Amino acid sequence: MDTSYTDRHWQSADGLTLHFREYGAANARPPVICLHGLTRNARDFEDLAPHIASQGWRVLVPSMRGRGDSDYAEDPASYQVGTYTGDLMALLETEGIAQFVSIGTSMGGLITLALAAIEPDRVAAALLNDVGPVLETAGLDAIKSYIGQGRSFPTWMHAARALEETHGAAFPEYETEQWIAMAKRSLTLCNNGRIAFDYDMKIAEPIIAADEAAVPPDLWPAFDRLAQNPLALLRGELSQLLSPTAFAEMQQRAPGAIAATVPGVGHAPTLDEPAAREAIDQLLARVA
């Protein structure tokens, strides 16, 4: 499978240079855009994006502001879903994209819902990965407990062990090599030789300050709009963020949606799991 990509950039409305990876080539299909979670970056989809591109899709994988190779914002208050949605719209305009298929993990799913609330015709189809209109306090508190701490590590093994300490309950079956792989997706080697998380620590400020972790209010209307097009819903079996009750309501309101629970993992499935890949492939088949 061809895993090659092109590094490309676009400009935000407030002058930031933002980075995305492009896999595959433009064609008559709407492109697929993979949107990562809160503390993550484009590397999260380094296995999934080539898989999708191998089926004839153009795939764009942005790192949102303050993450990966994208610029950090001068104003930490801009680290919120409304601004990320504006950045995504700027990408769509720059690339001349009228419609796209969204694959949104956690925060990426909230961006998808926020866009559907204001420009629903942009989203031709969507997958919401362990996120929905109702999020659990326990999951939000867990995120607040680790975000923005600014830790660094001398080796990848130390970084992997730190991730296991924080996220072990969400991935109880992970082996050492899987933790190292996760570390290499979410951390980076710095100029001083230390390994640190690959995001601006200031992204935590609006979340710590907000009662509901900066989640936009009342996303059910946007969800109902997404449900009019091909839709896939994923929940990690052990998720603290998306409850079984909320997941059941999502399925009830979107009876035609593909829905799957990814066994043995919590927040959030990596989308490399067999159940996740099957749901993604089914969704894309409906669009194609």
CATH of the domain at 111: 3.40.50.1820
Give domain status of residue 205, yes or no. no
| Burial call 175-207: b when 16+ CB within 10 Å, e when fewer | eeebbbbbbbbbbbeeeeebbbbbbbbbbbbbb
**Percent of the chain topping pLDDT 70:** 98
Give domain status of residue 280, yes or no. yes
- pLDDT digit string (tens) for 171-214? 999 999 999 999 999 999 999 999 999 999 999 999 888 755 44
- Strands of the chain (E only): list them: 6-11, 17-23, 32-35, 59-63, 100-105, 123-129, 152-153, 187-189, 195-197, 231-236, 258-262
| Per-residue pLDDT at 64 exceeds 90 | yes
Give domain status of residue 273, yes or no. yes
Domain, as residue range, for 27: 6-137+212-287
Q: What is the pLDDT of residue 213?
A: 44
What are all long-range contacts of 243-246, with beta carbons under 8 Å and residues at least 24 apart?
Answer: 243/134, 243/136, 246/132, 246/133, 246/134, 246/135, 246/136
Q: Are 109 and 268 in contact, with CB atoms under 8 Å apart? A: no
Tokens of 282: 């089914």
40-44, 210-214, 281-285: least confidently modelled range: 210-214
Average pLDDT score over residue span 28-46 = 97
Give domain status of residue 193, yes or no. no
| Per-residue pLDDT at 69 exceeds 80 | yes
Average pLDDT score over residue span 35-52 = 98
pTM confidence score: 0.96
Q: What is the pLDDT of residue 89?
A: 98
What is the rounded average pLDDT for all residues in the chain?
A: 95
Residue 141 pLDDT class (50, 70, 90 cuts): confident
**Structural domain count of the chain:** 1
Give domain status of residue 206, yes or no. no
Backbone angles phi, psi at 270, to 5 degrees: -80, -15
Give domain status of residue 204, yes or no. no
Give domain status of residue 44, yes or no. yes
Count how many Cα atoms sit within 13 Å of the Cα of residue 169 in the half-sphere of its side chain.
6
Instruction: Collect all residues with Cβ–Cβ distance below 8 Å to 15 and sequence separation of at least 6.
Output: none
166-170, 200-204, 217-221: least confidently modelled range: 217-221
- pLDDT digit string (tens) for 92-103? 999 999 999 999
Give domain status of residue 83, yes or no. yes
- pLDDT digit string (tens) for 102-136? 999 999 999 999 999 999 999 999 999 999 999 99
Residue 250 pLDDT class (50, 70, 90 cuts): very high
Q: What is the pLDDT of residue 108?
A: 98
Q: Name the CA dihedral angle for 139, 168, 131, 63, rounded to a multiple of 10 degrees.
A: 110
Q: How far is CA 82 from the centre of its chain?
A: 15
| Per-residue pLDDT at 216 exceeds 80 | no
Distance (Å, whole) CA 49 – CA 21: 9
